[in-house]
Amino acid sequence: MENKGISSAVIKRLPRYYRYLSDLMNQGVERISSNELSSLMSVTASQIRQDLNNFGGFGQQGYGYNVEYLYGEIGKILCVDKKHNMVIIGGGNFGHALANYERFEQKGFVTRAIFDKDPEKVGGDVRGIPILDIAQLPAYLKEHGVQIGVLTIPKLEAQEITDILVAGGVKAIWNFAHLDLKVPDDVLVENVHLSESLMQLSYRLGEQK
């Protein structure tokens, strides 16, 4: 499969296709035309065809898409058919909430451990996922293959912990801390800056008035 040179706009849309196809499968739908998918998702049918053509198509003219097949193929493109080991840094409410999302696991994102510096939290667990002392993080990373580090800690500590994750071989950081992390070129960062999302909403609220 040829994935090179796919625009980031297409990549951003793929998880949404994946979600709709998952819903359709759950509803027992076996086949769907690009027109039906188009009206369901409020995007044009030609957009859908173009997006999926980036990966070789998947549809037969006049027959539409096989829902389960397309779901599987998009899953492969998104690499959710593989297991990724995650550690969550920060055992507060937010870290707990993320560790509790069983849906992540179903998509191959398996949280192996949560790290915190608070002695009252260390030794506990969330759904059997142990909460370990942050001091153990370097040794843990050496022993376990961890691909993704999730940062749910205050911004002042985020860069220091990032450096430890990177030194321990982590190749992707899912960053909820409110700063831009410095990482080597071969380490990916996906930011979820909640305040910034909220400010976009308030901007648009202000614009409407």
In the region spanning residues 137 to 176, those forming contacts with a second copy, defined by CB under 8 A, are 147-148, 171-172, 174
For the four alpha carbons of 145, 101, 194 and 124, in that order, the dihedral sign comes to negative
DSSP labels, 14-76:
HHHHHHHHHHHHHTT--EE-HHHHHHHHTS-HHHHHHHHHTTT---BTTTBEEHHHHHHHHHH
**Least CB distance to a second copy at residue 82 (A):** 7
**Residue 163 in contact with residue 144, Cβ under 8 Å?**
no
Binding segment toward a second copy, per CB under 8 A, in 9-17, 27-35, 46-54, 117-125: 9-17
CA triplet 99, 105, 109: central angle to 5 degrees? 85
Cα–Cα distance, 69 to 77 (Å, whole number) = 12
For residue 129, the cross-strand partners are: 126
Tokens (6 digits) for 166: 């990177």
Task: Compute how many residues bind a second copy; rule: CB under 8 A.
Answer: 57
**Least CB distance to a second copy at residue 18 (A):** 7
**Least CB distance to a second copy at residue 121 (A):** 13
Binding mask 115-144 for a second copy (x = CB under 8 A): ------------------------------
**Least CB distance to a second copy at residue 136 (A):** 23
Q: Is residue 24 close enough to count as binding a second copy by CB under 8 A?
A: no
Which residues of this protein are in contact with a second copy, per CB under 8 A?
3, 11-12, 14-16, 18-19, 41-42, 77-80, 82, 84, 92-94, 96-98, 100-101, 103-104, 107-109, 147-148, 171-172, 174, 178-180, 186, 188, 190, 192-208
